[in-house]
Structure 1
């Protein structure tokens, strides 16, 4: 179980970090202030501040986020709060401590009445027991200590998300899924080199297992199946289907060796019980293409294949009806990870690539609160020549969050029933 948990955290953690790094990189590139880069959700376990950004690790390792200034964030500071101010040599505010942890003699206790960190850069409030209010100038790079102790930098308006150009905002929103596709390409390319080649789609024999019908018939690695019982065979999957459908039945194979010689051989597939059904097996593995070009291009071809399969599944929701059984959440990922761990490094790399593609596609769906929904709002803004009001965008995002929350609860409960209660 510990192995499974660690594998789940490792795989999911890599995918989330790579996804969020896409948003992080292009936000920084566009001049947007990234206040926090978080791995996980919930209470923070660890944080480190470097440059303008605070990096945090939080308790629940089921996701992460990049906190961009002015982007779906709610200020911790409000009028009426008691805070501790740290001032520089010119009496400008360089740190605002909401938590109240700064008890140094130089800190100034203030009850906040008003503030503006967007443009005017000031904070007004009553100092100590004074009845008169004092107004302090606030540095553009002043720090804010939140209630949980996380130190963030305040963000003037020109550093906020909405101040970036529309193309830069679109690229920042798209960068997360883009990084997932890049990660998948890298993972599948690495997989091809680790496993020594790429599985061929040809109906060609790979490794022939000992004491199996194929070994007894004398076939060899590299032999290509031209036909079975006179029926032309064009692919590995087609060959497998014919063999599986004919357990304990004589099949006449027309084969071609790697040297180009054609010969015929009769093979009787063994009957093997699989989930209550008897299927045929002859004891050969798929042929592995080990040339450098095939390994190098496998990342692209496999990623594209999975993307096409996902779109086929999504299309079936509209043509064949939607079912929660067709979806899987964190519980299903964990349950499947248990099987993947048994396959070792090859299984984990393959699973990493597969999940990364899935996360990239799912995030591009035009659902509010997902990256795809944000891109849709960007497109609407481009057509209208002006953004939606923050109020309307907030309502749309709230609807998306509620929809995703309900869907996640349904999917999670369905996964628990499928993997643990049945």
Structure 2
């Protein structure tokens, strides 16, 4: 099958992908931009526009505060334009700033104290993390969770687990001193530790023992691309007595949601670190085409699964925006850090060059991830 036939086939079924994709994207982008917007308002800054998407406006309205709320033609992002911004990237409009009256400066973003500007910028990623925690908490509170005891049903012959001396009916108590409450907890630690010797505390025949096992690196094909995971070669218990449905209260639901969000942060951080170390592959980097495809697949499992995907993507968007690259929120925060240390902002020329470099990096990343998406589609 040629690339054109593949793309044509995908386009033919795109109707099942577009709506779920837009649903997920609108939620994540709206929450991110609303974080910027609401903190900006709290800081007394005038907001000129709140946009979902880029390019020509499709429709919108102007509220009583003079903010234009609009939906634009290219639904791959969004922005909040504050008074004094020259465009969607919150770069300062130097000529306009120089002629502002004292009253206008008081409500202009770029004349605010550095801590206020930093708070407004950081509010977007923080809102993404709050969204994820809220979604995970609601799911925990509504559905509880199924917990499979970390009991080993079977050890694969000649596997890393077998070489380490793990046996059937062993109950895993802790890994590297970290308590293990479920088989899923054990899988998470092992899968994120390929090639790392792990001290595993077991209960065997009523006695507590410790063994050391090193997960083997395995490459697995998933909808997100090839993933490199650590595996020991264990099978979980199939005894119904080891599977329990837990009802969670508000506190436990929130705690579990924070832990889930932090796990995504840790896993993403480990992946990025692996990219620089050469132990991870770039084929896991996804662009809009693959996210749309995954959204359509997840949507077949219902709205709850789609909200779960939105929460996961929300964490990813929050993290990406904190990368210290000019044009992203992290780049703005980096500039503000320099300003706080120097006692004055960087020159307009320096900031302009920084934003140009940032734009180039972001465009290259988008092109690369789109290329990855196309390669993934062709390989299906």
Using the size of structure 2 for normalisation, the TM-score is: 0.70
Are positions 1:59 and 2:16 aligned together? no
How far, CA to CA, are the matches of 2:277 and 2:302 in structure 1? 38
Instruction: Indicate conservation of the 8 Å contact 1:204/1:287, yes or no.
Output: no
Q: Report which stretch shifted further, 368-377 or 279-288.
A: 279-288
* Larger helix fraction of residues: 2
Pairwise mapping of residues 25-174 of structure 1 onto structure 2 (< 5 A)? 25-50=38-63, 51-73=65-87, 119=99, 156-174=104-122
Q: What is the aligned partner in structure 1 of residue 24 from structure 2?
A: 11
Which runs of no fewer than 5 residues in structure 1 stay unpaired? 75-114, 122-139, 141-154, 206-212, 215-226, 242-253, 257-273
Are positions 1:229 and 2:176 aligned together? no
RCO greater where, 1 or 2, for CA within 8 Å and sep 6 or more?
Answer: 2
How far, CA to CA, are the matches of 1:388 and 1:181 in structure 2? 30
Q: Report which stretch shifted further, 323-332 or 373-382.
A: 323-332
How far off is 1:230 after superposition?
Answer: 5.5
When the two structures are aligned, how many residues end up with a matched partner?
300
1:311 to 259, 264, 269: 269
How far, CA to CA, are the matches of 2:274 and 2:356 in structure 1? 27
Instruction: Indicate conservation of the 8 Å contact 2:285/2:372, yes or no.
Output: no
* Larger strand fraction of residues: 1
How far off is 1:357 after superposition?
Answer: 0.5
1:288 to 232, 245, 270: 245
Pairwise mapping of residues 263-342 of structure 1 onto structure 2 (< 5 A)? 287-292=244-249, 293-320=251-278, 323-342=281-300
How far, CA to CA, are the matches of 2:60 and 2:185 in structure 1? 54
Using the size of structure 1 for normalisation, the TM-score is: 0.63
1:405 to 360, 363, 368: 363
How far off is 1:61 after superposition?
Answer: 1.7
Instruction: Indicate conservation of the 8 Å contact 1:5/1:334, yes or no.
Output: yes
Residues 63 and 55 of structure 1: CA distance in aligned 2, closer, same or farther (over 3 Å): same
Instruction: Indicate conservation of the 8 Å contact 2:84/2:97, yes or no.
Output: no
RMSD value over aligned CA atoms?
3.4
Q: Report which stretch shifted further, 356-365 or 321-330.
A: 321-330
How far, CA to CA, are the matches of 1:239 and 1:58 in structure 2? 45
1:365 to 309, 323, 326: 323
How far off is 1:240 after superposition?
Answer: 7.4
Q: 1:331 aligns to what SS in structure 2?
A: helix
Larger gyration radius, structure 1 or structure 2: 1
Are positions 1:21 and 2:31 aligned together? no
Residues 283 and 396 of structure 1: CA distance in aligned 2, closer, same or farther (over 3 Å): same
Q: 1:366 aligns to what SS in structure 2?
A: coil
How far off is 1:116 after superposition?
Answer: 6.7
How far off is 1:31 after superposition?
Answer: 2.2
How far off is 1:332 after superposition?
Answer: 1.9
